[in-house]
């Protein structure tokens, strides 16, 4: 690839990043349904046609944003858990997910609003988001059970991982709205209390 092509690619990535950030800002303020492509373009400082050129439509933009977000959070969760003992890995992954919600709460609001609805244009992408994040959490729980540091009666780790994912999103967003928000570490420890309660002595 030539230097000229590299420059175009870098500018394209930077433009897409600005559009994503503008979209997240508007979702946090107004919700995904209420925002318009005109508002996204104005907030991102780009022409409306740039959004259609890059994403095709508002739905295409949201699908791309969902994929972009899940790529970032799963990479961060995996890196945080790398090389750690099972319960420490779970603590690291949930802490990373909480930090992600705090930094990108518009993305978390989008997930909470859309994740468990049906007949959305981005259903397949939402299923991918669920499977990737919940899959990481389930793998962590499976490791804890196999290592003997969680009780064997934690039989349905998939269900537990799904509950942990949904709880983390909702609790983290609720904590942001609290008049006296609790430290992330405290929120994380409360979310993991069930797992810790099952740990063998």
pTM confidence score: 0.84
Domains and CATH numbers, the chain: 1-56 (1.10.10.60), 59-198 (1.10.357.10)
Alpha helices in 31-104 (DSSP H): 37-44, 48-55, 58-81, 86-103
Under the banding of pLDDT at 50, 70 and 90, the label for residue 13 is confident
Mapped onto helix, strand or coil, the DSSP state of residue 84 is coil
Give the whole-angstrom CA distance, residue 2 versus residue 163.
48
* pLDDT (0 to 100) of residue 31: 83
CA distance 20 to 72: 13
CA distance 5 to 9: 6
Question: Under 8 Å CB-to-CB from 104, ≥6 apart: which residues?
Answer: 24, 69
Is the pLDDT at 8 greater than 70? The verdict is no
Q: Are 112 and 169 in contact (CB under 8 A)?
A: yes
What confidence tens digit (pLDDT) does each residue in 20-58 have?
A: 999 999 998 888 888 999 999 999 999 999 999 999 999
DSSP label of 137: H
Four-residue CA torsion sign, 23, 29, 31, 36:
negative
Whose CA is closest to 121, among 30, 22, 32?
32
Q: What is the DSSP letter of 83?
A: T
Mean residue pLDDT across the chain: 86
pLDDT band at residue 114, thresholds of 50, 70 and 90? confident
């Amino acid at each position: 690839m030539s230097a000229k092509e590299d420059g175009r690619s870098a500018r394209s990535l930077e433009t897409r990043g600005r559009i994503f950030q503008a979209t997240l800002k508007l979702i946090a303020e107004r919700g995904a349904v209420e925002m318009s492509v005109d508002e996204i373009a104005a907030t991102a400082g780009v022409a409306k046609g740039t959004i259609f050129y890059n994403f095709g439509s508002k739905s295409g933009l949201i699908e791309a944003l969902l994929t972009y977000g899940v790529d970032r959070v799963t990479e961060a969760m995996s890196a945080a858990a790398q090389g750690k003992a099972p319960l420490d890995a779970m603590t690291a992954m949930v802490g990373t997910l909480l930090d992600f919600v705090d930094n990108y709460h518009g993305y978390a609001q989008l997930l909470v609003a859309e994740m468990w609805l049906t007949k959305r244009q981005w259903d397949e992408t939402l299923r991918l988001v669920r499977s990737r994040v919940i899959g990481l959490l389930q793998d962590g729980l499976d490791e804890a059970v196999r290592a003997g540091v969680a009780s064997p009666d934690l039989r349905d780790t998939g269900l537990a991982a799904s509950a942990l994912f949904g709880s983390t999103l909702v609790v983290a967003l609720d904590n942001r709205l609290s008049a006296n928000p609790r430290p992330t570490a405290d929120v994380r420890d409360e979310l993991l209390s069930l797992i810790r309660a099952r740990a063998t002595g």
